[in-house]
Amino acid sequence: MNYRHEFHAGNHSEVFKHALLCALIDRLQLKPKPICVIDTHAGSGLYDLDSSEAARTGEADRGIRLVYPKRTRALQRYLGIVEHFNPDRLKLYPGSPAIIRHLLRDDDRLVACESEAGPAARLKELVEGDSRVAVHQRDGFAAVHAFVPPKERRGLVFLDPPFENPNELALAAEALNAGIRKWPTGVYALWYPIKGRSQIAHVKKLISEDVPTLCVEFLAYAKSQEGLTGSGVVIFNPPWQYEKDVHAICKALLPIFEESGSGYSTEWWVRPR
């Protein structure tokens, strides 16, 4: 599938992955030492929900616009960031680099990578003057090789590819294997879309590195339906007690989509020792 942020900003899969992303960074920041977050497919950072692209799909109406009024405790951190960009009404949706930047402490860093010139330029403009953020126009998977391990030796690699290439999951697995070998204590998170049936079992077979690995899938719609029914995130080296955050977030989302046949699952590919 072709997952372009302009068309899908604020849909149910964005809500799910960004809520999990906030919880991941919060867990990492429980320790005072600085962290580095490497966002491999960053996009432009901020999206207009009133744009023609967003209006064409209407996915935000079945995503963030449904979830935004539901200020449950598990979603409050994430929704508070969305509110920061929307003081009057819900019009803008923050992508992963905008969310990460909002969560950075003074000594934390964000390395944001975007291969396309237009989105990379818009992202550079968005973060201009913030010394904590570096934007690189380059291939996201190659960025894992280039920037791992970061000087902080603590942090997260967030992989959120557009899935334009039919080999994208294989490329993601290759980058993950290389990254984990170079930085075995780092945290890695791979997001992927689900259309009908999940294809993530393919990645499971391709991962050669033996680190604690948690796979989470959230379906906003029953698998029998057409189109994007849900998405998943695989977390390598998840922080201690992060699984509790996962369950809390998913349980908060379930009743919002219950009429559509929502559900979620978690699976430890490799359990912590």
Instruction: Check residue 191 and give its pLDDT.
Output: 96
The 10s digit of each residue's pLDDT in 116-162 is 999 999 999 999 999 999 999 999 999 999 999 999 999 999 999 98
Question: What does pLDDT average to over the chain?
Answer: 93
- Secondary structure (3-state) at 147: helix
How many residues does this entry show for the chain? 273
Per the structure, the complete domain to which residue 34 belongs is given by: 5-270
Going by their DSSP bridges, the two strands 92-94 and 109-113 should be labelled as unpaired
- Name the residue with higher pLDDT: 201 or 137: 137
Q: What is the CATH number of the domain that holds 68?
A: 3.40.50.150
For 75-107, what is each residue's pLDDT tens digit? 999 999 999 999 999 999 999 999 999 999 999
What is the predicted pLDDT for the residue at 202? Answer: 86
**Which amino acid is residue 79, in one-letter code?**
L
Q: Is the pLDDT of residue 3 over 60?
A: no
pLDDT, position 57? 78
Q: What is the pLDDT of residues 246-265, one digit of tens each?
A: 999 999 999 999 877 889 99
Confidence of residue 4 (pLDDT cuts 50, 70, 90): low
* DSSP H or E stretch at residue 191: strand 187-195
Q: How far apart are CA 104 and CA 130, in angstroms?
A: 11
Residue 160 annotated among the catalytic residues of the structure: yes
User: What's the number of domains the chain is made of?
Assistant: 1
Q: What's the rounded mean pLDDT across residues 34-49?
A: 96
Would you place residue 54 in the very low, low, confident or very high pLDDT band (cuts 50, 70, 90)? confident
| Alpha helix segments (H runs only) across 127-217 | 140-147, 168-182, 201-206
| Whole-prediction pTM | 0.95
pLDDT attached to residue 47: 95
Q: Which of 48, 61, 107, 160 is catalytic?
A: 160
Could you tell me which of 212, 210, 215 has the C-alpha nearest to residue 246? 215
Instruction: State the DSSP string of 197-260.
Output: B--THHHHHH----S-EEEEEEESS-TTSSSEEEEEEEEESPPTTHHHHHHHHHHHHGGGSGGG
Q: What residues are paired with 155 via a beta bridge?
A: 36
Angle between helices 12-28 and 73-84 (to 10 degrees): 100
Residues forming beta bridges with residue 194, ordered by sequence position: 230
Check pLDDT > 70 for residue 224. Answer: no
